[in-house]
Structure 1
Amino acid sequence: MDIFSNFSDLFISVWSKGIRGVDIFQILIGIGIFFIFLIFRGIISKVIIKRLEAIAKRTTNKLDDTFVSAMEGPARFLPIVLGFFIASYYMSFGEDARAVIDTINRTLITILIFWLIHQVVEPISYILSGLDKMLTRELIGWIIKSLKILIFILGLAAVLELWGIKIGPIIAGLGLFGVAVALGAQDLFKNLISGILVLVEKRFKIGDWILVEGIIEGVVEKIGFRSTVLRKFDKSLAIIPNFQFAENAVINISETTNWRIDWAITLQYDTTVDQLKKIRNEIENHIKKSDDYDNAVGIAVRVEKFSDSSIDMRVRCFTNSNSFSMWLEVKEKLAIEIKQIVEGNNAAFAFPSQSIYIEKK
């Protein structure tokens, strides 16, 4: 009987002392409490969040959809924070263990706070999108990314401070490292500043067709911190450093409002004055009567000069459409009309030629 009595006393002693002085019964209760909050976490993700997403989709405003999506992560993390906090305070820890548990609780709460702030930044981008007259969409994207990085750094610094890790020496070391990097990465910073200038000055945006004389022509697919990605018309991808757009003239072809037609019509030298006047008037009248051209911008149909083998007539006008394909179509129609006018007046187009005179003795 003494053996069983000793075993019973030992079992009760182990049960009461538990782990680091915490009663095993309290540990089991704490685990149970934490498990209950894990179940609540599943309910939040599968029921509450799904219901909020369904409600948000019924509205035409995208802000509430973005807000619900952004809050999903922190909402699922909240039960873990609460569960650990309640479970840890139910158990009776020693003084040293209690200090560690308090630090863990503070860490979890700090992570939750900065995670919330980090996620709230995304819906703010929809609010800033209303300032598209002042800020481009790409610049807003840069601002949002910079804010997220800053919030992450501040959150990491707050967590390190909780665990007694001083961030002052770390920042000083990073400062020296930054100076060394800056000296060796001047081109990187030049491209970064150039990219910011491109966005602030709204030189172009994603989807624009741009031309940099002698460098690149294509459609903008992405504007990054260091470089811009363009899709050329042969479907190849070009990555151009941003300083190229700051140091060279950039032609934004997508912003063309009136495509220009500028031709020199060459007529033979045997064309009479009356034929020249009639051809000129008929071409000008055709352009003025057609809805394909913007007469307010200007029309010019005039005999320009006497070339080596032709009389040159300048035809200059601007189309109404800002579409490249429509411009090609209007050019084709005008070319056919001019040919009909020239042939209808019994004239002919000239081509480069030379006359050779043979002198007989």
Structure 2
Amino acid sequence: MDKDTITRPFERFAQIDSWTEFWTLTVEVWERGVWGVDLGRILIAIGIFVLFMGLRRLFTWAVLARLERYAARTDTRVDDKAVHALQAPVRFVPVVLGVFFATNYLQLDGTVEVFATNVVRSLIIFTLFWAFFRLVTPLSFLMGRLERVFTSAMVEWLVKAIKTLIAFLGAATVLEVWGIEIGPILAGLGLFGVAVALGAQDLFKNLIAGILILVERRFSIGEWVRVEGVVEGTVESIGFRSTFIRRFDKAPVYVPNAQLSDSAITNFSRMTYRRIYWLIGVEYRTSIDQLQRIRERIETYVLESDAFVPPDQASTFVRLDAFNASSIDIMLYCFTKTTNWGEWLAIKEQLAYEVKRIVEEEGASFAFPSTSLYIESLPADRPEAFSPPEGEGKAAPAATGPARSPREDEADGQG
């Protein structure tokens, strides 16, 4: 290859008088940029957005600090909780401002401008409804009066329903901004809901059963209930489909609301008093006087103790009840004022100590299952009872022949 062949391209490159043309193309690309916006404006817009993101912490601190000062002037804690709930939406405000000023600086037009405007509107709607959504919980104290009519669980359901409604309205508003009509969507969902309902009958059954449970106020959160053959424990939450009950061994149990609606439920937390029912068995050798004194002393203890409900408010009995197979039974039937399980156990323990003390002080004893055999007479042709001879600490040898006199024994010894 000769020298001219090698240097010819470089000579053409050096001779190109289009450096100006290249620069013109570069400027043209820079000015056209993206969607008709030059790259310089795009970079400045990005800088504006980054600036607002950098001021995000400062903006949040300034706004929340002023709100907290206003809340500190009041005696209630509700406004403090409301300010705490607004922290996340307030922190999102600089993002919305950054997007707004950045897109406004770009001076968009046409379809791009409409798109950018819809984005900003959607962000504003999202921030507002997000704030409303988070304010529902701290402001739910306004529904506290409803607990006099409804249960706390139903008020909690109402709060959840309000949150769901706010989320739905926010989503519908955003869809309207983008030109999507919500009416046809709801109509389509209605038809879809009918199809779903046919295959989700149990879900709706549990939902309706949960509403009936709350309306009838069968139980509330924190109460001790027993569902026959299902579970016994403390109610922790009542959901749309099932109720969460924690057993006393701390095992969680999720019971469908339909099953709770159709089953017998015992609510121990709503007992007015708590019962003690004992049968105290004493021995048959106990005399009538002892029985009377034992019964009277137990009755006096129950009537004079402040732990038990008086007879005019609840049935109280201490009576001789029955002649059992191995005992004479004294029935003790009374109620304690407390319904707390631990306090009830302590009262019952103290009563057991007192009953045992009374029975022992009266010289009687508690009976236990036993069987006694009494023989009135033996048959006449019974064999003669054998009485062994008396010895000096040694057993007499077994007799193998006819009885012998002492003299005969002595003669055998001398022989």
Which interval holds the TM-score relative to the shorter structure?
0.7 to 0.9
The residue type equivalent to 1:105 in the other structure is V
Report the equivalent of 1:275.
290
2:140 matched residue in structure 1: 125
1:180 matches 2:195: yes
Structure-2 residue corresponding to 1:349: 366
Change (3 A) 1:138 1:33: same
Shift of 1:130: 4.7
Distance 1:135 1:81 in 2: 41
Structure 2 residue aligned with 1:336: 353
Structure 1 pair 57/190, CA: closer, same or farther in 2 (3 Å)?
farther
- The counterpart of 2:153, out of the listed 126, 138, 159, is 138
Deviates more, 1:168-177 or 1:331-340: 168-177
Asked whether the 8 Å contact 2:225–2:269 carries over to 1, the reply is: yes
- The aligned counterpart of 2:206 is 191
CA displacement at 1:285 relative to structure 2: 0.9
**Structure 2 residue 262 is matched with structure 1 residue 247:** yes
Q: Which amino acid aligns with 2:323?
A: F
Q: Which AA in structure 2 matches 1:338?
A: V
User: What corresponds to 1:323 in structure 2?
Assistant: 340
Distance 1:218 1:58 in 2: 44
Query: What is the letter of the counterpart of residue 87 of structure 1?
Result: A
Q: State the partner residue of 2:103.
A: 88
Aligned equivalents of 1:169, 1:92: Cα separation in 2: 35
Change (3 A) 1:12 1:210: same
Structure 1 position 115, deviation (Å): 1.9
Return the alpha-carbon distance in structure 1 between the equivalents of residues 32 and 180 of structure 2. 33
Whose RCO is larger (CA < 8 A, sep 6+)?
1
| Cα 1:153/1:345, change in 2 over 3 Å | same
Q: How does 1:149-228 map to 2 (within 5 A)?
A: 149-228=164-243
Distance apart, 1:191 and its partner CA: 1.7
Residue 146 of structure 2 contacts residue 155 of structure 2 at CA under 8 Å; is this kept in 1?
no
From 109, 125, 139, the counterpart of 1:110 = 125
- The residue type paired with residue 177 of structure 2 is L
Is the contact made by 1:20 and 1:94 (CA closer than 8 Å) also made in structure 2? Answer: no
Residues 158-209 of structure 1 deviation map (CA, whole Å, 9 limit, x = unaligned): 2223223344443233222222222222222222222223233333233322
Q: Could you tell me how far 1:264 is from its partner in structure 2?
A: 1.7
CA-CA distance at 1:57 after TM superposition: 7.5
Contact 1:53/1:65 (<8 A) preserved: yes
Q: C-alpha distance in 1, partners of 2:294/2:308? A: 19
Q: Quick one: which amino acid aligns to residue 193 of structure 1?
A: I
3-state SS of paired residue (2:233): strand
Please identify, of 138-147 and 269-278, the stretch whose mean Cα deviation from structure 2 is larger. Answer: 269-278
3-state SS, counterpart of residue 21 of structure 1:
coil
**For residues 20-31 of structure 1, what are the structure 2 equivalents within 5 Å?**
20-31=35-46
Quick one: distance in 1 between partners of 2:25 and 2:355? 112
By how many angstroms is 1:284 displaced? 0.9
Partner residue of 1:148 out of 163, 181, 192 = 163
Range 80-89 or range 330-339, more displaced: 80-89
**TM-score (ref. length: structure 2):** 0.76
* Alpha-carbon distance, 1:261 to partner: 1.0
Larger mean CA deviation between 17-26 and 84-93 belongs to: 17-26
Q: Are 2:323 and 1:306 aligned? A: yes
**What secondary structure, in the 3-state scheme, does the structure 2 residue paired with 1:322 have?**
coil
CA distance, structure 1, for counterparts of residue 65 and residue 24 of structure 2? 53
Instruction: Find the counterpart in structure 1 of residue 81 from structure 2.
Output: 66
- SS of 2:173 mapped into structure 1: helix
What is the alpha-carbon distance in structure 2 between the residues aligned to residue 258 and residue 125 of structure 1? 34
Aligned to 1:260: 275
| 2:242 and 2:255 in contact (8 A); partners too | yes
Change (3 A) 1:24 1:62: same
SS of the residue 1:304 aligns to = strand
Could you tell me which runs of 5 or more consecutive residues in structure 1 were left unpaired when the two chains were aligned: none
CA contact 2:277–2:331 (8 Å) conserved in 1: yes
- Alignment TM-score, normalising by the size of structure 1: 0.86
**Aligned length in residues:** 361
> SS state of the match for residue 239, structure 1?
strand
1:140 to partner: Cα distance: 2.4
Corresponding residue SS for 1:109 = helix
Per the alignment, do residues 10 and 342 of structure 1 end up closer, same or farther by CA in structure 2, a change over 3 Å counting? closer
Provide Cα deviations, 1:77-114, integer angstroms capped at 9, x if missing partner.
22222332233233332333322222222222222232
Output the amino acid matched with 2:82: F
Structure 1 window deviating more from structure 2 (232-241 vs 58-67): it is 58-67
Question: Which of 1 and 2 has greater Rg?
Answer: 2
By how many angstroms is 1:280 displaced? Answer: 1.7
Moved more, 348-357 or 286-295: 348-357
